[in-house]
Amino acid sequence: MRDEQATIKPIIQVFVYGTLKPGESNYGYYCRGKTITEIPAYTWGQLYHLPLGYPGMSLGTSKVEGWLFTFEDDSILARLDSLEDYQERRSPELNEYNRQQLPVYSLAGDSLGIAWCYIMSLAKVQNHQGILVSSQQWSSEFFKKSW
């Protein structure tokens, strides 16, 4: 009899809202050709543009638009953790971002389940002089033009 558990691959879902989105600077290296699905989506939070050239999202009550990516390779989390300067065993206030699971929804409002997301503390956003993104949709092109 075949061991069915040995053939089950892990499914990793990650909600992205910044440089990992299609068309942004980190998408090609980290995501292109590595995802199973890419779905426009949203979660609840508060989105900020950081003068460093990328966004930070804190917990909040605004609809932050991005993408829900599904990966089969669970090593993606280690690669993304490195990009986002997150170490699981390090004190949360020392991480640039902290990885946590959040509910994610289709743009029509249907639940897509729970996904990993990289969250920046409000104190860290303020330390970086983050600027609220009123549209709750971040794009490097928009901020290149406005700075």
- Taking only the tens place, the pLDDT of each residue in 112-143 is 999 999 999 999 999 999 999 999 999 988 76
The residue with tokens 């902290």 is 98
Give the mean pLDDT of the chain. 92
Query: Is residue 78 situated within a structural domain?
Result: yes
Residue 5 has pLDDT above 60, yes or no: no
Can you give the residue range of the structural domain that contains 127?
Answer: 10-146
Query: Is residue 5 situated within a structural domain?
Result: no
Taking residues 10-31, report their average pLDDT. Answer: 96
Query: Is residue 1 situated within a structural domain?
Result: no
Taking residues 103-110, report their average pLDDT. Answer: 98
Taking residues 9-25, report their average pLDDT. Answer: 94
C-alpha triplet 67, 77, 94: angle, nearest 5°: 100
Q: How many domains does the chain have?
A: 1
Residue 4 has pLDDT above 60, yes or no: no
Query: Is residue 4 situated within a structural domain?
Result: no
* Closest C-alpha to 16, from 134, 130, 138: 138
Up-side HSE of residue 139: CA atoms within 13 Å toward CB? 8
Query: Is residue 107 situated within a structural domain?
Result: yes
- Tokens coding 92: 């949360």
* CATH number (domain holding residue 14): 3.10.490.10
- Taking only the tens place, the pLDDT of each residue in 53-69 is 999 999 999 999 999 99
